[in-house]
């Protein structure tokens, strides 16, 4: 039958994006929504941000990553994938937690878009005041 490989899964979130990440031992193949990271994340900075946790723990060439990402834009999706990879790496080897935490990969970025208020053109912006 098939050889038994260990798969580590985790969920990462950023803004309104959610990433379901699977890590398997392999040759460093990175796939997001069926496409290579460099193709899915339009700018190289986003793809680098997405696999940054792997570089932190020096496992870039030893682990394959498969991610399903929904919601948000490219920047939010890259952050969500990075968060998911970091959480899965912690499951893979709990000793990596200290390095990942120090680099800030395990903390979920809580910043969300603020809602628009009624009677205003945006979340914070006000219409120009007129005394008369």
Question: For residue range 3-17, what is the model confidence (pLDDT) as tens digits?
Answer: 556 899 999 999 999
The confidence score (pLDDT) of residue 132 equals 86
The confidence score (pLDDT) of residue 84 equals 96
Domain 7-103 belongs in CATH node 3.30.230.10: yes
Looking only at Cα atoms, what is the longest distance across the chain?
83
**69 and 32 Cβ atoms separated by less than 8 Å:** yes
Between CA 51 and CA 86 the distance in angstroms is 9
Half-sphere exposure of 120 (CA within 13 A, CB side): 10
Determine the average pLDDT of the residues in 50-56. Answer: 94
Whole-structure pTM over 0.75, yes or no? Answer: yes
Q: Inform me whether the pLDDT recorded for 73 exceeds 50.
A: yes
| Percent of residues, the chain, with pLDDT higher than 70 | 96
């Amino acid at each position: 039958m098939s050889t038994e490989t260990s798969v580590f899964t985790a969920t990462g979130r950023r803004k309104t994006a959610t990433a379901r990440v699977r890590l398997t031992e392999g040759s460093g193949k990175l796939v997001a929504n069926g496409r290579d990271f460099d193709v899915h994340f339009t700018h190289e900075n986003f793809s680098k941000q997405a696999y940054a946790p792997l570089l932190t723990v020096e496992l870039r060439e030893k682990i394959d990553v498969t991610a399903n990402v929904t919601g948000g834009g490219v920047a939010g999706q890259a952050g969500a994938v990075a968060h998911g990879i970091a959480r899965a790496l912690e499951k893979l080897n709990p000793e990596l937690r200290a390095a990942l935490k120090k680099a800030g990969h395990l903390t979920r970025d809580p910043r969300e878009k603020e809602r628009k208020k009624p009677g205003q053109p945006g979340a914070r912006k006000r219409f120009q005041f007129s005394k008369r």
